[in-house]
Amino acid sequence: MNDSKSKKPEQIQNKVQIVEIEDDREGQRIDNFLMSQLKGVPKSRIYRILRKGEVRVNKGRIKPEYKLKGGDLVRIPPIRVAEAKELAVASDQLCEHLTAAILYEDDRFMIVNKPSGLAVHGGSGVNLGLIESMRQLRPDCRYLELVHRLDKDTSGCIMIAKKRSMLRYLHGLLRTGGVQKYYHALVVGHWSVKRRQVDEPLCKNEKLGEGRIVRVTPDGKPSLTRFKVLQHYKDCTLVEAKPITGRTHQIRVHAQCVGHSLIGDPKYGDVEANRSMKRLGFNRLFLHAASLEFLLPDTEELFKVSAPLDERLSVPLALLKKEES
């Protein structure tokens, strides 16, 4: 769902800016800070002005890896309009959809039920992603950053930080396994209730014409996914997948390697099964980030949020014939 229209880029800035760093930004790298301030300016241009010393902190030259401190004064030089990329604008329809898709929001973060087909951010041929759309939807929010990512074709829960401190907190939880992620996937065949995990190393390769491909290989990175059967259907099974590690395409490849590829998966799926299920109404990858659980900061309260399936999954799923486990 990359529903957008374009407009000519507006002038970003035509004079020197002096920005005082708030405490919430402390610890952020100067290059990342500049990218958040100079939307649409190519990364190459940002690193060029850093190398040339046009960006100063407290009147001194700094390196791209410099970490900001509260109270720092950052000098940002003028950036010509011609150096900005054309800005994509989220359509009214997309804005309405995303507004309805907000599952939770407070002054620190929000969780959105990302639609399938919408990339999490622009780039690599994508003009407009979720984060750019949310920034347009919430122009009053001074800080909006993705906490983690989902593949373009995967729907469901994704976290967006509204404060730098919350981003650091959630990143810390993700690194230490403090965020429990649960996915729902419809897979080919009868998944045994006894198969509760897949522990196979994964390696990411680049293949011409196929994009990013992940394979099970002995020299790959350790990867673990826990599975639970939710419902058996005729010729397929709805499973809950809990990735313990966070490798690219982990759930899809782990399911495929044990003979149960995901329905609607164009990269790792079963062609005949996908064709058959498409006739039943399944016209997208059946992988959905169903829920998240973690402790909120400064409290022992367990926070949990769940995202409902969209109609492209829920409607055909309701028509399938259930079987006993």
Q: Which of 151, 153, 265, 270 is catalytic?
A: 151
Sequence spans of domains, the chain: 14-83, 87-175, 180-323
Is 140 assigned a catalytic role? no
Which one is the CATH code of 180-323: 3.30.2350.10, 3.90.1150.10, 3.30.70.940, 3.20.20.80? 3.30.2350.10
- Alpha-carbon 27 to chain mean position: 22
pLDDT at 80: 66
User: In terms of pLDDT, which residue wins out, 200 or 81?
Assistant: 200
Give the Å distances, CA to CA, from 179 to 78, 225, 248. 41, 14, 17
Strands 155-161 and 236-243: unpaired
**Chain segment 116-159, per-residue pLDDT in tens:** 999 998 765 667 899 999 999 999 988 899 999 999 999 999 99
Q: Where are the alpha helices (DSSP H) in the chain?
A: 30-37, 43-51, 92-100, 130-137, 164-175, 250-257, 271-279, 311-319
Q: Which position has the higher pLDDT, 208 or 183? A: 183
Equal CATH topology for 14-83 and 180-323: no
Sign of CA dihedral 271, 273, 275, 278: negative
CATH superfamily label, 87-175 = Pseudouridine synthase (3.30.2350.10)
pTM: 0.80
Tokens 């407290």 belong to residue: 58
pLDDT of residue 204: 84
The CATH code for residues 14-83 is 3.10.290.10
| Distance between start and end Cα atoms, the chain | 36
- Cα gap 280→267, rounded to integer Å: 20
pLDDT digit string, tens, across residues 246-303: 999 999 999 999 999 999 999 999 999 999 999 999 999 999 999 999 999 988 789 9
Tens-digit pLDDT profile for residues 27-80 = 889 998 898 788 778 888 999 999 999 999 999 999 999 999 989 999 999 886
Q: Read out DSSP for 32-43?
A: HHHHHHSTTS-H
- Report residue 306's pLDDT band, with 50, 70 and 90 as the boundaries: very high
* The pLDDT of residue 177: 93
Q: How far apart are CA 276 and CA 263, in angstroms?
A: 10
